[in-house]
A and B are shown apart, each in its own frame.
Chain A
Amino acid sequence: MSVLEKTRPATAPPAATRARRVTDEHGRRVRVGELALRYLLLLAVLALTVGPFLWQLSTSLKGPTEDIYSSPPSFLPADPTLDNYTRVADTVPVWDYALNSLKVATANVVTNCAGSALAGYALARLRYRGRRAATLAFVLAMLVPVEAIIIAQFTTMRELGLNNTLVGVVLPGCIGAMNVLLMRNAFLNLPYEIEEAAFVDGANVWQRFLRIALPSVKGTLAVVAIFAFMGAWDDFLWPLIVLSDPSRFTLTIGLNYLHGTFANDERLVAAGTVIAVAPLIVLFACLQRYFFRGVGEGAVKG
């Protein structure tokens, strides 16, 4: 719906002649001149933010005979073809890389959701000696920048014999301290009374956690899941350090490899990047509400 609406003011007659008037969030009318200027600016920013992706898509669809360096540039492929997508798969095993990324991202979602929900519940709802120390440990872990410990993580991984494995890619971030603290805050906001009632009814701590507390924090859990997936799918520095064998590469490392080895054919690199970014854009389009909620919540807590 919104896609249809966005083009209307540019071409439509003045809003007064339309049945529907454009109003702001307070129900006040927005002047036509201001509205036109707004849409003009919005479209300009749209071109700047989304344009580069479309240019990449267009490049990936251009055939081998088409000049991709022409000046002035041609924005639409003259003879669109999917050849580059099959050719990129012949050059590097891009679908294997995508599968590796999917494995890593899925594992990261499962471990982060389970681990941070459990730990968050322990920090928020259970009483025991050392609870404050445990909370402090997670706060400290959140404050340490990954970039400053990456070599030591690499050494630790090697000592565990997990270098160059997907398990090694997943492990360091598999339960993010930030996620634990997010879950803790979510559990803290739940009223105690329901759990107390369940306790009186004889529910043990696991039952209270699984049946009562967890279903009430689904929103935060979704935020954790989305960011865990995105973080793992997009990560570059850590997989770059830990993976050395091209057959184990994730998509981001594979793309960098593709770019380094076959920089002379932009069509292939473009096809590779489209393969890498398309699933995320689809995921994002479906779940954008949670994205924005997540960023907003993060900002309030930051």
Chain B
Amino acid sequence: MTAPTAPSRIRRQLPSSPWLFAAPGLLVAGAFVLWPFLSTLADSFTDRRTLIPGRFVGLANFREMLDDDMFWIGLRNSALYVLGVVPALVVLPLLLALLVQKNIPGITFFRSAFYTPVVASIVVVGLIWVWLLDERGLVNSLLETVGVGRVGFLSDQWLLLLSAMTVTVWKGLGYYMIIYLAALSGVPRELHEAAAVDGAGAVRRFLTVTVPAVRSTMVLVGALSSVAAFKVFSEVYLMAGPSGGPAGEDTTLVMLVQRTGTGLTGRVGYASALSVVVFVVTVALMLLVLRADRKEERV
């Protein structure tokens, strides 16, 4: 059972101490992650409520979902979120990384400044943008000044979702920029020079040298951002309100989980079934992105 790499002398020790070291971590992971995960699976087959222990109901929760308009709205919005946010978060931070890559004077200031939205709490970011996009807010007063007129960013169902996506992209830019920056530093300069000698312009060099070189990072960013986008909660909750915008049309899947499963009348069983869907789609998205990556490599 012991790994072969360790020198034999280090192996001798009190048999109990390794477990003392690992115990706190294992306890937390077990009690607050792994156990809740198993009980989510178990509860999804019951009609458990907040104060009422559940009975086994088989697949009833999952069948109910098929007829639940709110479920489909939530699934639609979470899926739309992935489609809207992921391409932007794969491409824009790469361009940003290229912009801040060169070590010109003051560049560390710009890098840090671009990272500020990542550091700020999502609640702060959400409230800042609610204020910016308010009917009488900065964006609308600028639009009015240039003669476009005021736009109901937060009152229209689709504009609201689009605004929330913009906020997600805005907040994520700096984070993925740093990931790309790390990847770009590994691209050999000679490739660029060779392409330049061959007469390739900046755009061509970007497409033929940079993109292939950071392709695996793009896949990673795609995977990370799609998983995060599907689980979106805070941005939409803050901008649309707890009930999910006009007629709840902006509700996302995780918002539905939160709304269904909490409170004194919370339907824990049904919320658990919804959580299982969140989990399954998240894992599927991961596998999908990673598989697309492998397939492309084979070609």
Name A residues whose Cβ lies closer than 8 Å to a Cβ of B: 2-3, 5-6, 8-9, 22, 24-26, 30, 35, 38-39, 41-42, 45-46, 48-50, 52-53, 55-56, 59, 69-73, 111, 114-116, 118-119, 121-123, 125-132, 134, 137-138, 140-141, 144-145, 147-156, 171-175, 177, 180, 192, 195-196, 199-200, 204-206, 209, 230, 233-234, 236-237, 240-241, 251-252, 255-256, 259-260, 266, 269-270, 273, 276-277, 280-281, 284-285, 288, 291-292, 295-296, 299-300, 302
For residue A128, which residues in chain B have a CB less than 8 angstroms away from its CB? 15, 18-19
In the complex, what's the smallest C-beta–C-beta distance from B244 to chain A, in angstroms?
14
Q: How far is the CA of A72 from the CA of B142 in the complex (A)?
A: 6
With both beta carbons as reference points, the residue of chain A lying nearest to B122 in the complex is identified as: A236
For residue A240, which residues in chain B have a CB less than 8 angstroms away from its CB? 258
Other-chain contact of B40, A5, A152, A295, A302 (Cβ < 8 Å):
A152
Q: How far is the CA of A131 from the CA of B7 in the complex (A)?
A: 16
Other-chain contact of A144, B34, B102, B104, B238 (Cβ < 8 Å):
B34
With both beta carbons as reference points, the residue of chain A lying nearest to B238 in the complex is identified as: A256
Residue in B106, B123, B182 with the greatest tally of chain A CB atoms within 10 Å: B123
With both beta carbons as reference points, the residue of chain B lying nearest to A148 in the complex is identified as: B279
The answer to whether A155 and B268 have CB atoms under 8 Å apart is yes
Residue in B121, B220, B266, B268 with the greatest tally of chain A CB atoms within 10 Å: B121
With both beta carbons as reference points, the residue of chain B lying nearest to A206 in the complex is identified as: B17
With both beta carbons as reference points, the residue of chain B lying nearest to A44 in the complex is identified as: B99
With both beta carbons as reference points, the residue of chain A lying nearest to B41 in the complex is identified as: A152
Q: How far is the CA of A10 from the CA of B116 in the complex (A)?
A: 24
The answer to whether A8 and B105 have CB atoms under 8 Å apart is yes
Is B141 an interface position by the 8 A CB rule?
Answer: yes
For residue B262, which residues in chain A have a CB less than 8 angstroms away from its CB? 151, 154, 241
The answer to whether A137 and B29 have CB atoms under 8 Å apart is yes
Given A8-B105, A25-B103, A45-B114, A150:B257 Cβ within 8 A: yes
Q: How far is the CA of A122 from the CA of B23 in the complex (A)?
A: 10
- Give the number of residues in B that approach A within 8 Å (Cβ atoms): 104
Q: How far is the CA of A195 from the CA of B13 in the complex (A)?
A: 13
For residue A3, which residues in chain B have a CB less than 8 angstroms away from its CB? 106, 109
Other-chain contact of A154, B18, B106, B121, B261 (Cβ < 8 Å):
B261
The answer to whether A41 and B34 have CB atoms under 8 Å apart is no
Q: How far is the CA of A41 from the CA of B37 in the complex (A)?
A: 46
Chain B binding surface SS class: helix
In the complex, what's the smallest C-beta–C-beta distance from A192 to chain B, in angstroms?
6
For residue B158, which residues in chain A have a CB less than 8 angstroms away from its CB? none
Q: Which A-B residue pairs are the 10 nearest by beta carbons? A: A119-B25, A6-B106, A152-B36, A122-B21, A151-B261, A234-B121, A2-B109, A71-B141, A141-B29, A148-B279
For residue A266, which residues in chain B have a CB less than 8 angstroms away from its CB? 131, 134
Is B203 an interface position by the 8 A CB rule?
Answer: no
Other-chain contact of B170, A25, A49, A56 (Cβ < 8 Å):
A49
For residue A153, which residues in chain B have a CB less than 8 angstroms away from its CB? 32, 36
Q: How far is the CA of A116 from the CA of B144 in the complex (A)?
A: 53
Q: How far is the CA of A127 from the CA of B7 in the complex (A)?
A: 10
Is B254 an interface position by the 8 A CB rule?
Answer: yes
Q: Provide the B153-181 mask, 1 if CB < 8 A to any CB of A, else 0.
A: 00000000000000000100111001101
Q: How far is the CA of A266 from the CA of B138 in the complex (A)?
A: 12
Q: How far is the CA of A26 from the CA of B292 in the complex (A)?
A: 36
In the complex, what's the smallest C-beta–C-beta distance from B237 to chain A, in angstroms?
8
For residue A236, which residues in chain B have a CB less than 8 angstroms away from its CB? 121-123, 233-234
In the complex, what's the smallest C-beta–C-beta distance from B9 to chain A, in angstroms?
6
With both beta carbons as reference points, the residue of chain A lying nearest to B135 in the complex is identified as: A69
Q: How far is the CA of A49 from the CA of B173 in the complex (A)?
A: 9
Q: Provide the B135-146 mask, 1 if CB < 8 A to any CB of A, else 0.
A: 011100110110
Apart from A2-B105, A55-B138, 17 more pairs, CB < 8 Å: A30-B102, A115-B24, A138-B26, A145-B227, A148-B278, A149-B33, A152-B275, A155-B43, A177-B33, A234-B121, A255-B127, A260-B241, A284-B119, A291-B115, A291-B119, A295-B182, A299-B179
The answer to whether A145 and B17 have CB atoms under 8 Å apart is no
Other-chain contact of B103, A24, A48, A140, A292 (Cβ < 8 Å):
A24
Given A128-B15, A149-B36, A252-B121, A192:B29 Cβ within 8 A: no
With both beta carbons as reference points, the residue of chain B lying nearest to A291 in the complex is identified as: B115
Is B66 an interface position by the 8 A CB rule?
Answer: no
In the complex, what's the smallest C-beta–C-beta distance from B48 to chain A, in angstroms?
8
Given A151-B262, A192-B10, A255-B123, A137:B34 Cβ within 8 A: yes
For residue B129, which residues in chain A have a CB less than 8 angstroms away from its CB? 52
Interfacial residues of chain B within 251-280, with CB under 8 A of chain A in the complex: 254, 257-258, 261-262, 266, 268, 271-272, 275-276, 278-279
Other-chain contact of B35, A55, A125, A156, A175 (Cβ < 8 Å):
A156
The answer to whether B131 and A49 have CB atoms under 8 Å apart is no
For residue A259, which residues in chain B have a CB less than 8 angstroms away from its CB? 127, 130, 238
The answer to whether A237 and B234 have CB atoms under 8 Å apart is yes
For residue B6, which residues in chain A have a CB less than 8 angstroms away from its CB? 125, 127, 192
In the complex, what's the smallest C-beta–C-beta distance from B50 to chain A, in angstroms?
8
Is B96 an interface position by the 8 A CB rule?
Answer: yes
Q: How far is the CA of A114 from the CA of B25 in the complex (A)?
A: 9
Is B224 an interface position by the 8 A CB rule?
Answer: yes
In the complex, what's the smallest C-beta–C-beta distance from A287 to chain B, in angstroms?
10
